[in-house]
Amino acid sequence: MARRKRQEHSNHDRWLVSYADFITLLFAFFVVLYASSQVDKRRVGQLALAIQVAFQQMGIFDASNTKSAVANTEPMPFSNVQIVENVERFASLGRIAPSPHGMPEGAAQSDDLNQLRRELQSALQAQIKKHEISLTPTHEGLVVSLREAGFYDTGSAELKKDTSTVLDEFVAIVAPRNFHVRIEGHTDNIPIHSSQFQSNWELSTARATEMVKLFITRYGISPDRLAASGYAEFHPVATNATPEGRAMNRRVDLVILNPSGQGFSGEPTMSAAPPAAEPGAAPER
């Protein structure tokens, strides 16, 4: 008896399974693309505001004038999201508050900073003439530069004993105004290697932190108004190719921060070049 051959029928619809999988994956892919291209405006605004407030409290970034509503529930393209300034939040932080004369507190404090510059210039006139101190108005605020020649021995982080009068004058004028002050240590580009400091980084940082400690312990300035930074030789104000330029770069800057973020008028109260080093002066590092 002949074996009956089993007849196989081909299924011509099998391609639909692969096609359906492909369409599903393609749909999921475009959904992910769309979702990643849209952000919640409220959440991004809150995040941007938190970052902005943090950096402004550190004195790094200035206040932004860009305003964008953060209460909108509709999504917006990420490319249109910008750093926002929430006026109500800043007012609660004491950054913006109406003044008695109807102008923002920042503008009033900017005027106060101009007055402070004039008072410091008058009180420190003798040291300014000797090129031991310079006053420089900047966008951040007022920079009071203490030159190493007048305040420090070479390679030392301790202030000279006869500098207390100058600091007394500075604190008497600045402290009552409640400005924040950032102390910056700077050096020239000559490497230092001593038993106390292994690099210019350590020397510049030590000078800044010692100044902060002095302001807190001797003058009772609140620590939350102070900050210390060491920049070594990487923020020069003059060329390091000459002894005069290196002398200008070896300094401690007392940066009186302007809370309004507005620059103010005024020229630096220093000459273009300091006097030449006297014979027999201490050698540079």
For the entire predicted model, the pTM comes to 0.56
pLDDT-above-70 percentage for the chain: 62
> What are the tens digits of pLDDT across the range 136-181?
999 889 999 999 989 999 889 999 988 889 999 999 999 998 899 9
Residues 53-75, mean pLDDT to the nearest whole number:
53
More confident site: 240 or 94: 240
Lookup result for tokens 């508050």: 97
- Reported confidence tier of residue 134, pLDDT bands at 50, 70, 90: very high
Classify each residue of 229-245 as buried b or exposed e, where b means 16 or more C-beta atoms within 10 Å of its C-beta.
Answer: bbbbbeebbbeeeeebb
* Three-state secondary-structure class, residue 9: coil
C-alpha–C-alpha distance, residues 230 and 142, integer Å: 18
C-alpha–C-alpha distance, residues 158 and 166, integer Å: 15
- Asked if 109 contacts 258 with a C-beta cutoff of 8 angstroms, the reply is yes
Tokens of 45: 């605004």
Q: Which residues pair with 141 in a beta bridge?
A: 257
More confident site: 101 or 32: 32
Check residue 220 and give its pLDDT: 93
Structural domains of the chain, ranges and CATH numbers in brackets: 16-96 (no CATH), 105-257 (3.30.1330.60)
